[in-house]
Structure 1
Amino acid sequence: MGKGSKNLDDDQQQESSVMTTSSSVINENGNGKGQYTWEEIRRHSNKKDRWLVINNRVYDVTKWVKHPGGQMVLNHYAGQDATEAFQAFHPEITRVQKYLKPFYIGDVCKDDEDNTDDDQALRDDFEKLKQKAIAQKLFTPSRLFFILACLHILAFEYAAYFVVFRFGTGWLPYLAAIVFYVIAEAQCGWIQHDFGHLSVFKKSKWNHLLHQIFIGFTKGASADWWNHMHFQHHSKPNVIDKDPDTRIEPAFVIGDKIPIRAAHRDVKYGKSFPYHLQYLYFFLAAPLLFPLYFQFTTIRHAIKRRKWMDVFWLSLFYIKFFTLMPLVFGLFGAIKLLFIIRLFEGTWFVVVTQSNHVVMDVSHDDEKSSWFRMQLKATCNIDQSYFNDWFTGHLNFQIEHHLFPMMPRHNLYKLKADVMDICRKHNIRYISKPMGQAFVDILTSLEKSGRMWRETYEELMHASKTIN
């Protein structure tokens, strides 16, 4: 993936060279770099030939194989303007730009009429809000907040081990250990999310290190795997075939477009899955996501991609757990305990994350959509309370988090009123709902999508039988 245009055959290379020459000119300042139209830029939109634009500068990132955010993020913006996404994910812009310099090939033509932007006023208002947030130091983390967050995770994990070693294997200490460990794992999910988004330390290297330690040693997962999945989601939320959270077939279909596509596929290949029942088996299938899928996928990812530091830290988790817990429960008892913990941890994670996204619009990519509009279309909030903030890791402010992914989560609520003002000005929906309603809406949305699949499938089958 992303190995460059060397995989093209000679004819394709010659064609690419002709297209580039015919649509580019030398800059007036004589720096030898080209000027490119958007028509030309959009031609370079696949993983073997990808250009992207940042601040009207064109970069050929085809051979950038060590991008920290992963290859897929670059693929998702191939042939597009990535300026707003670039600014959202990189705290040290000046330092990052030096890595872009070798890939710079020219600029967007100033007189390119195809580059009209219907969302420019919205982009301007969003930029003003960003500058206001910077002036109010909302990107500055509270050290006390994150110290307490980390300590309370470690305290709950310690409590899980303490109760079983102190009080034995009775049902009450066993239940208490499960509760304490599930809380530690779920809350670690939120703190590793903070480190992964570089929102705790000014220096990226410290965020990366703590990210590896917490997601590895406390959760038994790979930081690189998380980056690979999560930054795709943020860069193109709810975008079909780009956001990994939309690629959940064959178990589920979401939105109003994927069910139609799935129905045509099922009729074509003569097989089907009972998607019309997905709202019923959701709470059976979703909890198994962690113990039967993520747990093994993350380990495989780290080994396959030779992320040895990730392997080291996640190995320590399993060494710790299967050294201590078997002393009390035996090996099979410890395996059963971990499976139960993963079930509840997975349920917690899924209901929080999906309440913000699966109920929203799921659609194909719109390359001209502004960052603000794209995030609001795909996200919604859960109403604020002290419990909701803690239970969701402040991801009840999912809208503000998606707009400003590097902002420390304890400051997200301070922008809610301003974001709502922009939404009212530009006639954009801002959705916030009670937690109970948010969880129920997951099932409602799944039922609707499943019903669309069944109706389409039955219509297609009936039409096929009629023709035959």
Structure 2
Amino acid sequence: MAIDALNSTTTARGSAYAALSRQVKAAGLLDRRPGYYAAQIALMLALVAAAWTALVVVGDSWWQLLVATFFAVVSTQLGFLGHDAGHRQIFGSSRRNYRLGVVLANLGVGFSYGWWIDKHNRHHAHPNDEDKDPDIGAGALVFTTGQAQASGRVARMFYRYQAWAFFPLLFLEALHLRVASVRYLLSVRSRAGMRELLFITLHLAAYLAAVFVLLPPGKALAFVAVHQGLFGLYLGCSFAPNHKGMPPLSPEDDADFLRRQVLTSRNVRGNWLTDFALGGLNYQIEHHLFPSMPRGNLRKAQRLVRDFCAEHQVSYLETGLVSSYAQALRHLDTVGRTPAPVS
């Protein structure tokens, strides 16, 4: 199922979401933006070329750690563009979006586009549902009191300090993406999955070969560690403000589509630099309501959505970036300190 197909989850034509949807469509905000995305793709190509040129030109020097930092920014931005392709924001054709997504994710960054689509579909369909949203599944962290109480004694000792561990764990996110990707592709055993696995292998082989040919072993290892660590940190910091600490919902809450998406999402206020740095994910409410809306239209849609929510008395949360992290960390700390169940 394509992610933008989630818009079909709407209720009857007279529902609040249907009314908002008609306003958004009438404003042309769901129309494709070929010029916008042509410029985005051109920018990404320029950034990739600049990164590899810098790696070659700087040569055997510890200044390569700055180049590795730039590589982390480029990798994350490629991921954002792949995210847009996954939501069919770029092309009208599913096949063209899929091909671009595989190039960006598997060849460009080194993780599985198919794995991410499967995971992200489930997140959009059930945001903050602890039973169905894979983004808040229990693992290295717990996000609900139920998960905390279901964990063992040793795990609860770690979870008690999970808020402190959150940002350090993000340095391992790039490794997690690749491990999860390979496991998924090996489990599905499809032709498309094997093709994706081949592309990931090509990415890793070319990347490691280039770095270790151009740099001595010590500097090469440092380059890889800085690049991959900061890539994971940047990517994680871009997604963390969106839902962490927002109310968990389950089917029993009986919220309609509009309320389920708005009440579980948090926007981050800012300017054009915030939009670029977070890949448009700072408009998380608008993005969840209209996943196929081109990134460049989200800011324009915000006023319509915010006014509509105010008119219909639906809580609409927008906060600063630092405040969003503080809210997420307070939630993790509160959940991590949940008392053990009384036996």
Alignment-derived partner of residue 280 in structure 1: 164
Alignment-derived partner of residue 77 in structure 1: none
Q: Distance in 2 between matches of 1:357 and 1:210?
A: 27
Distance 1:436 1:238, change over 3 A: same
Alignment-derived partner of residue 6 in structure 2: 85
Distance 1:248 1:340, change over 3 A: farther
Which of 113, 133, 147 aligns to 2:38? It is: 147
Residue 155 of structure 1 aligns with an amino acid whose one-letter code is A
1:401 aligns with 2:287: yes
Alignment-derived partner of residue 240 in structure 1: 130
Structure 2: where are the runs of 5+ without partners?
Answer: none
Q: Distance in 2 between matches of 1:367 and 1:208?
A: 34
CA deviations over 1:74-123 (Å, ceiling 9, x no partner) = xxxxxxxxxx936169xxxxxxxxxxxxxxxxxxxxxxxxxxxxx979x6
Residue 141 of structure 2 aligns with an amino acid whose one-letter code is F
CA deviations over 1:205-260 (Å, ceiling 9, x no partner) = 111110111111111111110111100000000001200011133x2122xxx324
Alignment-derived partner of residue 126 in structure 1: 17
CA deviations over 1:312-341 (Å, ceiling 9, x no partner) = 322231232123211112467545423321
Alignment of 1:310-325 (within 5 A): 310-325=196-211
Q: Is the 8 A contact 1:159 1:177 kept in 2?
A: no
Q: Distance in 2 between matches of 1:248 and 1:337?
A: 32
Residue 197 of structure 1 aligns with an amino acid whose one-letter code is H
Residue aligned with 1:396, SS:
coil
281-290 or 363-372, larger mean C-alpha shift: 363-372
Alignment of 1:272-311 (within 5 A): 272-291=156-175, 293-306=176-189, 307-311=193-197
Please give the TM-score of this superposition, normalised by the length of structure 2. 0.90
Rg comparison, structure with higher value:
1
Which structure carries more relative contact order (alpha carbon 8 Å, separation 6+)? Answer: 2
Alignment-derived partner of residue 70 in structure 2: 180
CA deviations over 1:4-37 (Å, ceiling 9, x no partner) = xxxxxxxxxxxxxxxxxxxxxxxxxxxxxxxxxx
Residue aligned with 2:15, SS:
helix
Q: Is the 8 A contact 1:211 1:223 kept in 2?
A: yes
Root-mean-square deviation (CA, aligned residues, Å) is: 2.4
Alignment of 1:196-345 (within 5 A): 196-249=86-139, 251-254=140-143, 258-266=144-152, 272-291=156-175, 293-306=176-189, 307-330=193-216, 333-345=219-231
Deviation at 1:288, TM superposition (A): 1.1
Deviation at 1:358, TM superposition (A): 0.6
Q: Distance in 1 between matches of 2:170 and 2:50?
A: 27
Q: Is the 8 A contact 1:286 1:350 kept in 2?
A: yes
Residue aligned with 1:384, SS:
coil
Distance 1:373 1:316, change over 3 A: same
Q: Is the 8 A contact 1:88 1:404 kept in 2?
A: no
1:425 aligns with 2:311: yes
Q: Distance in 1 between matches of 2:155 and 2:332?
A: 20
Q: Distance in 2 between matches of 1:435 and 1:223?
A: 28
179-188 or 334-343, larger mean C-alpha shift: 334-343
Q: Distance in 1 between matches of 2:155 and 2:205?
A: 43
Q: Distance in 2 between matches of 1:341 and 1:125?
A: 45
Q: Distance in 2 between matches of 1:300 and 1:264?
A: 25
Which of 292, 295, 299 aligns to 1:413? It is: 299
Q: Percent identity?
A: 24
Q: Which runs of 4+ in 1 moved over 6 A?
A: none
Which of 238, 244, 260 aligns to 1:374? It is: 260
Corresponding residue pairs, total: 339
Residue 84 of structure 2 aligns with an amino acid whose one-letter code is D
Structure 1: where are the runs of 5+ without partners?
Answer: 1-67, 74-83, 90-118
Q: Is the 8 A contact 2:76 2:235 kept in 1?
A: yes
1:166 aligns with 2:57: yes
Q: Distance in 1 between matches of 2:142 and 2:126?
A: 18
1:192 aligns with 2:76: no
CA deviations over 1:274-296 (Å, ceiling 9, x no partner) = 212111111211221222x2112
Q: Is the 8 A contact 2:7 2:291 kept in 1?
A: no
Please give the TM-score of this superposition, normalised by the length of structure 1. 0.67
Distance 1:353 1:314, change over 3 A: same
Q: Is the 8 A contact 1:420 1:430 kept in 2?
A: yes
